[in-house]
Amino acid sequence: MMLRSKALALAMAPAVAAAAVMVPQAAVQAQATSPLAAVTAHLKAVNTMTASFSQTDRRGQTLTGTFTLKRPGKIRFQYQPDVPMLIVADGKRLHMIDYETKRPDSWPIGNSPLGVLLDPNPDLARIAKVVRSDSQTLLVQAKDPKRPQYGTVTLGFARVRSAPAGLLLQGWTVIDAQNNRTTVKLTNQRFNVPVADSAFTFQRPK
């Protein structure tokens, strides 16, 4: 149940904040456009993304795995081998599968705070605000005012000249309705690499 709670917090938490990780060797690029416009440009420029992730809960316990994204609507969190959990979006719905309890859950992608990562045309001007912007980092908080129950996500970026639209997605932190905090940090990010649709299929528990 503890592992399930951690995974569920990542996928379906009611509120989110982000932690950006500095990239010391990164070239700093001045943004000529507004921060929200830069994030929109980044999201539109990223068709696929792969990364390693570490997910830490409020107790300091950490799980690791691999993260794969393909727009529109596909995402996969493959946890380390000893964690029988999987989070995957197949283009329409976000699924969380617990292979230990054999219990799957699913909901529309738009009902998740991760939806902002999956939308090919995000309307950030309507749902987002900048909470930090300087020469090295950018934090943007998004919340749909019409659906507050689906949560708030603050994406953390480093300003890196070679990354799409000059931004490198670094991670986010999820805070659920019980004020439980789960922080996700990304490393080894790769953008617009070939990703097969089969990466977003999964085996349902029997």
Instruction: Look at residue 22 in the predicted model and tell me its pLDDT.
Output: 36
> Domain-by-domain residue ranges, the chain?
2-190
Q: What is the dihedral of CA 167, 148, 123, 129, to 10 degrees?
A: -50
Task: Give strand pairing partners of 179.
Answer: none
Instruction: Look at residue 117 in the predicted model and tell me its pLDDT.
Output: 82
Is the domain spanning 2-190 CATH 1.10.1040.10? The answer is no
In degrees and rounded to multiples of 5, residue 171 shows phi and psi of 155, -175
d(CA 34, CA 68): 28
> Using an 8 Å Cβ cutoff, are 58 and 173 in contact?
no
Within 10 angstroms of residue 80's Cβ, the number of other Cβ atoms is 13
With CA atoms as reference, report the closest residue to 178 among 21, 57, 1: 57
Q: Rounded mean pLDDT of the chain? A: 80
Instruction: Look at residue 26 in the predicted model and tell me its pLDDT.
Output: 33
Distances 40 to 53, 165, 205 between C-alpha atoms, Å:
23, 9, 37
Residue ranges of the chain with per-residue pLDDT less than 70: 1-32, 113, 148-151, 175-179
d(CA 120, CA 117): 8
pLDDT tens digits for 50-67?
Answer: 999 999 888 888 999 999
For 41-136, strand residue ranges (E) read 48-57, 62-70, 74-79, 85-90, 93-98, 103-108, 128-133
With CA atoms as reference, report the closest residue to 107 among 171, 153, 55, 151: 151
